[in-house]
Amino acid sequence: MKLVIIIGSIILLIVLFYGAYYIINPSLEGEEIAAQLGMPYPAVIAHRGASAIAPESSALAFIKARDQGADYLEADLQRTKDGKIIVFHDPNLKRVSNASEVFPKRQDEEVGSFTYTQLKQLDIDIITLKDLIDIAKGGEYTPGLVLETKNPQKYPGIEEEIVAILSEEGWLNPTNNKEEISKRDDKKDFAKTIFFSFEVDSLKKFRELAPKVPRLLLITDNMISRRGWKSWLEKAEGLAQGLGTKGFMNWPWYIAAAHDRGLFVLPYTINQLWQLKILAYFQSSGYITDRPEAVLEFLNRLPKLSEIEDILEE
Protein backbone atom coordinates (compact mmCIF):
# COMPACT_ATOMS: atom_id res chain seq x y z
CA MET A 1 0.00 0.00 0.00
CA LYS A 2 2.82 2.38 0.91
CA LEU A 3 4.49 1.64 -2.42
CA VAL A 4 1.29 2.55 -4.28
CA ILE A 5 1.05 5.86 -2.37
CA ILE A 6 4.70 6.64 -3.10
CA ILE A 7 4.33 5.88 -6.82
CA GLY A 8 1.10 7.88 -6.96
CA SER A 9 2.77 10.83 -5.25
CA ILE A 10 5.69 10.76 -7.69
CA ILE A 11 3.32 10.69 -10.68
CA LEU A 12 1.33 13.60 -9.21
CA LEU A 13 4.50 15.64 -8.69
CA ILE A 14 5.59 14.98 -12.28
CA VAL A 15 2.20 16.06 -13.60
CA LEU A 16 2.20 19.19 -11.43
CA PHE A 17 5.72 20.10 -12.51
CA TYR A 18 5.00 19.45 -16.18
CA GLY A 19 1.79 21.47 -16.06
CA ALA A 20 3.37 24.30 -14.08
CA TYR A 21 6.17 24.61 -16.62
CA TYR A 22 3.75 25.25 -19.48
CA ILE A 23 1.59 27.55 -17.39
CA ILE A 24 4.66 29.66 -16.66
CA ASN A 25 6.13 29.22 -20.15
CA PRO A 26 3.29 28.87 -22.68
CA SER A 27 4.27 28.19 -26.28
CA LEU A 28 4.77 31.33 -28.38
CA GLU A 29 4.76 29.63 -31.78
CA GLY A 30 1.10 30.18 -32.63
CA GLU A 31 1.60 33.56 -34.27
CA GLU A 32 4.23 32.20 -36.66
CA ILE A 33 2.00 29.25 -37.58
CA ALA A 34 -0.89 31.61 -38.30
CA ALA A 35 1.33 33.87 -40.40
CA GLN A 36 2.46 30.95 -42.52
CA LEU A 37 -1.19 30.25 -43.34
CA GLY A 38 -2.10 33.89 -43.96
CA MET A 39 -4.34 34.05 -40.87
CA PRO A 40 -4.76 37.06 -38.56
CA TYR A 41 -3.44 36.54 -35.04
CA PRO A 42 -5.25 36.18 -32.80
CA ALA A 43 -8.20 35.51 -35.10
CA VAL A 44 -11.66 36.67 -34.02
CA ILE A 45 -14.27 34.31 -35.47
CA ALA A 46 -17.93 35.30 -35.19
CA HIS A 47 -19.80 32.07 -34.38
CA ARG A 48 -22.95 32.09 -36.55
CA GLY A 49 -22.37 35.83 -36.77
CA ALA A 50 -22.80 38.16 -33.80
CA SER A 51 -25.26 35.61 -32.47
CA ALA A 52 -25.48 37.03 -28.94
CA ILE A 53 -27.17 40.20 -30.22
CA ALA A 54 -28.95 39.01 -33.39
CA PRO A 55 -30.65 35.79 -34.52
CA GLU A 56 -27.99 33.16 -35.17
CA SER A 57 -26.92 32.63 -38.78
CA SER A 58 -29.13 35.48 -39.99
CA ALA A 59 -28.03 38.17 -42.41
CA LEU A 60 -28.28 40.68 -39.55
CA ALA A 61 -26.00 38.63 -37.29
CA PHE A 62 -23.36 38.41 -40.01
CA ILE A 63 -23.65 42.08 -40.94
CA LYS A 64 -23.18 43.13 -37.31
CA ALA A 65 -20.14 40.86 -36.92
CA ARG A 66 -18.67 42.21 -40.15
CA ASP A 67 -19.16 45.83 -39.11
CA GLN A 68 -17.73 45.18 -35.67
CA GLY A 69 -14.49 44.13 -37.37
CA ALA A 70 -14.53 40.35 -36.89
CA ASP A 71 -11.78 38.57 -38.84
CA TYR A 72 -14.06 35.71 -39.92
CA LEU A 73 -17.76 34.92 -40.15
CA GLU A 74 -18.40 31.31 -39.12
CA ALA A 75 -21.24 29.50 -40.88
CA ASP A 76 -22.63 25.96 -40.92
CA LEU A 77 -23.50 24.75 -44.41
CA GLN A 78 -26.19 22.32 -45.50
CA ARG A 79 -28.05 21.69 -48.77
CA THR A 80 -31.75 22.07 -49.49
CA LYS A 81 -33.80 19.52 -51.36
CA ASP A 82 -33.52 21.64 -54.52
CA GLY A 83 -29.76 22.01 -54.27
CA LYS A 84 -29.19 25.39 -52.57
CA ILE A 85 -26.23 25.63 -50.20
CA ILE A 86 -27.68 27.36 -47.14
CA VAL A 87 -26.38 28.59 -43.79
CA PHE A 88 -28.09 26.57 -41.05
CA HIS A 89 -26.85 24.77 -37.96
CA ASP A 90 -29.46 22.34 -36.64
CA PRO A 91 -30.48 19.02 -38.22
CA ASN A 92 -34.13 20.14 -38.14
CA LEU A 93 -36.14 23.35 -37.89
CA LYS A 94 -38.03 23.13 -34.62
CA ARG A 95 -35.58 24.90 -32.26
CA VAL A 96 -35.27 28.17 -34.14
CA SER A 97 -38.39 28.51 -36.29
CA ASN A 98 -42.17 28.27 -36.43
CA ALA A 99 -41.99 25.05 -38.46
CA SER A 100 -44.57 23.44 -36.14
CA GLU A 101 -47.09 26.03 -37.36
CA VAL A 102 -46.14 26.25 -41.03
CA PHE A 103 -45.36 22.56 -41.51
CA PRO A 104 -47.09 20.89 -38.52
CA LYS A 105 -46.38 17.35 -39.70
CA ARG A 106 -42.78 18.01 -40.73
CA GLN A 107 -41.16 19.84 -37.81
CA ASP A 108 -38.91 16.87 -37.03
CA GLU A 109 -37.79 16.37 -40.61
CA GLU A 110 -34.23 17.22 -41.57
CA VAL A 111 -33.62 20.63 -43.08
CA GLY A 112 -32.36 18.98 -46.27
CA SER A 113 -35.81 17.60 -46.98
CA PHE A 114 -37.19 21.12 -47.57
CA THR A 115 -36.81 23.27 -50.67
CA TYR A 116 -35.36 26.75 -50.39
CA THR A 117 -38.78 28.25 -51.20
CA GLN A 118 -40.37 26.28 -48.37
CA LEU A 119 -37.71 27.41 -45.91
CA LYS A 120 -38.32 31.04 -46.84
CA GLN A 121 -41.90 30.64 -45.57
CA LEU A 122 -40.62 30.34 -42.01
CA ASP A 123 -40.06 33.17 -39.52
CA ILE A 124 -36.28 32.84 -39.70
CA ASP A 125 -33.82 34.42 -42.06
CA ILE A 126 -32.38 31.64 -44.20
CA ILE A 127 -29.48 32.79 -46.34
CA THR A 128 -27.35 31.02 -48.94
CA LEU A 129 -23.57 30.74 -49.15
CA LYS A 130 -23.66 33.28 -51.98
CA ASP A 131 -25.61 35.68 -49.75
CA LEU A 132 -22.97 35.25 -47.05
CA ILE A 133 -20.19 36.07 -49.48
CA ASP A 134 -22.05 39.20 -50.56
CA ILE A 135 -22.33 40.25 -46.91
CA ALA A 136 -18.61 39.73 -46.39
CA LYS A 137 -17.86 41.85 -49.46
CA GLY A 138 -20.38 44.55 -48.62
CA GLY A 139 -18.96 46.54 -45.71
CA GLU A 140 -16.08 48.78 -44.76
CA TYR A 141 -14.50 45.76 -43.09
CA THR A 142 -14.03 42.64 -45.21
CA PRO A 143 -13.94 39.48 -43.10
CA GLY A 144 -13.04 36.03 -44.29
CA LEU A 145 -15.32 33.02 -44.01
CA VAL A 146 -15.04 29.99 -41.76
CA LEU A 147 -17.22 27.32 -43.35
CA GLU A 148 -18.28 24.18 -41.50
CA THR A 149 -19.84 21.26 -43.31
CA LYS A 150 -22.71 20.14 -41.11
CA ASN A 151 -23.54 16.43 -41.38
CA PRO A 152 -21.76 16.27 -44.77
CA GLN A 153 -22.39 12.53 -45.11
CA LYS A 154 -26.05 13.42 -45.72
CA TYR A 155 -25.13 15.67 -48.64
CA PRO A 156 -22.84 13.78 -51.04
CA GLY A 157 -20.84 16.18 -53.18
CA ILE A 158 -21.42 19.22 -50.98
CA GLU A 159 -17.69 19.92 -50.72
CA GLU A 160 -17.39 20.17 -54.52
CA GLU A 161 -20.36 22.54 -54.62
CA ILE A 162 -18.95 24.76 -51.88
CA VAL A 163 -15.58 25.02 -53.58
CA ALA A 164 -17.26 25.76 -56.92
CA ILE A 165 -19.26 28.64 -55.39
CA LEU A 166 -16.19 30.06 -53.64
CA SER A 167 -14.17 29.84 -56.84
CA GLU A 168 -16.92 31.52 -58.86
CA GLU A 169 -17.14 34.34 -56.32
CA GLY A 170 -13.35 34.79 -56.13
CA TRP A 171 -13.31 33.70 -52.52
CA LEU A 172 -10.71 30.94 -52.48
CA ASN A 173 -7.36 31.82 -50.98
CA PRO A 174 -4.87 32.97 -53.60
CA THR A 175 -1.93 31.23 -51.91
CA ASN A 176 -0.53 29.90 -48.67
CA ASN A 177 3.08 30.41 -49.75
CA LYS A 178 5.03 31.63 -46.71
CA GLU A 179 7.30 33.92 -48.73
CA GLU A 180 4.40 35.71 -50.41
CA ILE A 181 2.39 36.04 -47.21
CA SER A 182 5.36 37.57 -45.38
CA LYS A 183 5.19 40.50 -47.82
CA ARG A 184 1.56 41.26 -47.00
CA ASP A 185 0.49 43.88 -44.51
CA ASP A 186 -3.15 44.39 -45.51
CA LYS A 187 -5.82 42.38 -43.69
CA LYS A 188 -7.84 41.85 -46.87
CA ASP A 189 -4.97 39.79 -48.28
CA PHE A 190 -5.07 37.24 -45.49
CA ALA A 191 -6.68 33.82 -45.93
CA LYS A 192 -10.23 34.42 -47.11
CA THR A 193 -11.54 30.97 -46.22
CA ILE A 194 -10.97 28.28 -43.61
CA PHE A 195 -12.77 24.94 -43.78
CA PHE A 196 -14.02 23.42 -40.52
CA SER A 197 -15.48 19.98 -39.91
CA PHE A 198 -15.91 17.28 -37.30
CA GLU A 199 -15.80 14.81 -40.19
CA VAL A 200 -12.40 13.54 -41.38
CA ASP A 201 -13.76 12.50 -44.78
CA SER A 202 -15.07 16.00 -45.44
CA LEU A 203 -11.68 17.56 -44.69
CA LYS A 204 -10.01 15.02 -46.96
CA LYS A 205 -12.25 16.15 -49.81
CA PHE A 206 -11.44 19.80 -49.17
CA ARG A 207 -7.75 18.90 -49.12
CA GLU A 208 -8.11 17.41 -52.60
CA LEU A 209 -10.32 20.17 -54.00
CA ALA A 210 -8.62 23.25 -52.51
CA PRO A 211 -5.29 22.26 -50.96
CA LYS A 212 -4.20 25.85 -50.30
CA VAL A 213 -7.17 26.62 -48.07
CA PRO A 214 -6.47 26.05 -44.34
CA ARG A 215 -8.48 23.27 -42.70
CA LEU A 216 -9.41 22.74 -39.06
CA LEU A 217 -10.49 19.51 -37.41
CA LEU A 218 -13.19 20.14 -34.81
CA ILE A 219 -13.05 18.03 -31.66
CA THR A 220 -16.08 16.91 -29.69
CA ASP A 221 -16.53 18.04 -26.10
CA ASN A 222 -15.71 14.78 -24.35
CA MET A 223 -12.92 14.93 -21.80
CA ILE A 224 -9.44 14.41 -23.18
CA SER A 225 -6.43 12.82 -21.54
CA ARG A 226 -2.85 13.44 -22.63
CA ARG A 227 -2.97 10.21 -24.59
CA GLY A 228 -6.28 11.25 -26.13
CA TRP A 229 -4.86 14.63 -27.14
CA LYS A 230 -1.93 12.91 -28.83
CA SER A 231 -4.33 10.78 -30.85
CA TRP A 232 -6.14 13.93 -32.07
CA LEU A 233 -2.81 15.46 -33.08
CA GLU A 234 -1.98 12.31 -35.02
CA LYS A 235 -5.38 12.34 -36.69
CA ALA A 236 -4.89 15.96 -37.76
CA GLU A 237 -1.41 15.35 -39.19
CA GLY A 238 -1.51 15.78 -42.96
CA LEU A 239 -5.25 16.42 -42.82
CA ALA A 240 -5.63 19.80 -41.12
CA GLN A 241 -3.56 22.79 -40.09
CA GLY A 242 -5.45 23.34 -36.86
CA LEU A 243 -7.69 21.93 -34.14
CA GLY A 244 -10.94 23.41 -32.84
CA THR A 245 -11.61 22.53 -29.23
CA LYS A 246 -14.03 23.27 -26.42
CA GLY A 247 -12.62 26.03 -24.23
CA PHE A 248 -11.89 23.79 -21.23
CA MET A 249 -9.56 21.61 -23.34
CA ASN A 250 -7.13 24.40 -24.09
CA TRP A 251 -4.51 23.75 -21.46
CA PRO A 252 -1.15 25.31 -22.33
CA TRP A 253 0.59 21.91 -22.60
CA TYR A 254 -2.00 20.81 -25.16
CA ILE A 255 -1.53 24.02 -27.14
CA ALA A 256 2.26 23.60 -26.97
CA ALA A 257 2.00 20.01 -28.22
CA ALA A 258 -0.11 21.21 -31.16
CA HIS A 259 2.37 23.98 -31.94
CA ASP A 260 5.19 21.44 -31.93
CA ARG A 261 3.40 19.76 -34.86
CA GLY A 262 2.76 23.03 -36.67
CA LEU A 263 -0.93 23.17 -35.73
CA PHE A 264 -2.85 26.21 -34.55
CA VAL A 265 -5.58 25.85 -31.89
CA LEU A 266 -8.92 27.71 -31.86
CA PRO A 267 -11.20 27.28 -28.82
CA TYR A 268 -15.00 27.48 -28.93
CA THR A 269 -17.33 29.03 -27.82
CA ILE A 270 -15.55 31.81 -25.90
CA ASN A 271 -17.87 34.56 -24.63
CA GLN A 272 -16.68 35.56 -21.15
CA LEU A 273 -13.91 37.96 -20.18
CA TRP A 274 -12.30 35.49 -17.77
CA GLN A 275 -12.09 32.93 -20.59
CA LEU A 276 -10.42 35.46 -22.87
CA LYS A 277 -7.85 36.41 -20.26
CA ILE A 278 -6.87 32.82 -19.54
CA LEU A 279 -6.76 31.70 -23.17
CA ALA A 280 -4.83 34.80 -24.22
CA TYR A 281 -2.17 33.93 -21.65
CA PHE A 282 -2.16 30.33 -22.84
CA GLN A 283 -1.46 31.62 -26.39
CA SER A 284 -4.67 30.60 -28.12
CA SER A 285 -4.47 31.32 -31.87
CA GLY A 286 -7.87 32.99 -31.75
CA TYR A 287 -11.40 32.78 -30.43
CA ILE A 288 -14.62 31.37 -31.82
CA THR A 289 -17.25 33.52 -30.15
CA ASP A 290 -20.92 34.53 -30.11
CA ARG A 291 -19.74 37.96 -28.96
CA PRO A 292 -17.13 39.24 -31.40
CA GLU A 293 -17.58 42.77 -30.04
CA ALA A 294 -16.48 41.60 -26.57
CA VAL A 295 -13.39 39.84 -27.93
CA LEU A 296 -12.49 42.79 -30.15
CA GLU A 297 -12.86 45.15 -27.19
CA PHE A 298 -10.57 42.90 -25.14
CA LEU A 299 -8.02 43.04 -27.98
CA ASN A 300 -8.52 46.81 -28.33
CA ARG A 301 -9.60 46.35 -31.95
CA LEU A 302 -13.15 47.70 -31.98
CA PRO A 303 -14.11 50.43 -34.47
CA LYS A 304 -14.56 53.93 -33.07
CA LEU A 305 -17.06 54.15 -30.22
CA SER A 306 -19.62 56.05 -32.27
CA GLU A 307 -19.46 53.43 -35.02
CA ILE A 308 -19.91 50.47 -32.70
CA GLU A 309 -22.84 52.15 -30.92
CA ASP A 310 -24.55 52.57 -34.28
CA ILE A 311 -23.95 48.90 -35.06
CA LEU A 312 -25.41 47.70 -31.75
CA GLU A 313 -28.45 49.98 -31.98
CA GLU A 314 -29.48 48.93 -35.51
Percent of the chain at pLDDT above 70? 81
Residue range 4-45, pLDDT digits in tens? 455 454 444 444 445 566 666 678 899 999 999 999 999 999
Residues 6 or more apart in contact with residue 226 via CB below 8 angstroms: 253
Helix residue spans in 25-89 (DSSP H): 30-37, 59-68
Strands 264-268 vs 43-47: parallel, antiparallel or unpaired: unpaired
> What confidence tier does 302 reach under pLDDT thresholds 50, 70, 90?
confident
Give the CB-side neighbour count of residue 218, counting CA atoms within 13 A.
21
Q: What pLDDT was estimated at residue 157?
A: 98
Report the distance separating Cα 242 and Cα 83, nearest Å.
30
Q: Is the dihedral of CA 178, 179, 185, 190 positive or negative?
A: negative
Yes or no: say if 170 and 125 are a contact pair by the CB < 8 Å rule.
no
The H or E element that residue 220 is part of is: none
Q: What pLDDT was estimated at residue 73?
A: 98
Report the distance separating Cα 289 and Cα 277, nearest Å.
14
Q: What pLDDT was estimated at residue 1?
A: 58
Q: How far is CA 269 from the centre of its chain?
A: 9
How many C-beta atoms surround the C-beta of residue 287 within 10 A?
A: 30
Q: What pLDDT was estimated at residue 12?
A: 45
Q: What pLDDT was estimated at residue 26?
A: 78
Q: What pLDDT was estimated at residue 129?
A: 98
Q: What pLDDT was estimated at residue 223?
A: 60
Residue range 176-224, pLDDT digits in tens? 444 434 444 454 457 999 999 999 999 999 999 999 999 999 998 666 6
Check residue 112 and report its DSSP letter.
G
Check residue 189 and report its DSSP letter.
G
The whole-number average pLDDT for the span 84-103 is 96
Helix residue spans in the chain (DSSP H): 2-24, 30-37, 59-68, 99-102, 116-119, 129-137, 158-168, 178-181, 200-209, 226-236, 252-260, 273-281, 292-298, 305-313
Read off the pTM.
Answer: 0.87
Q: What pLDDT was estimated at residue 156?
A: 97
Domains delineated in the chain = 27-76+138-313 (3.20.20.190)
Amino acid 311 reads I
Q: What pLDDT was estimated at residue 247?
A: 87
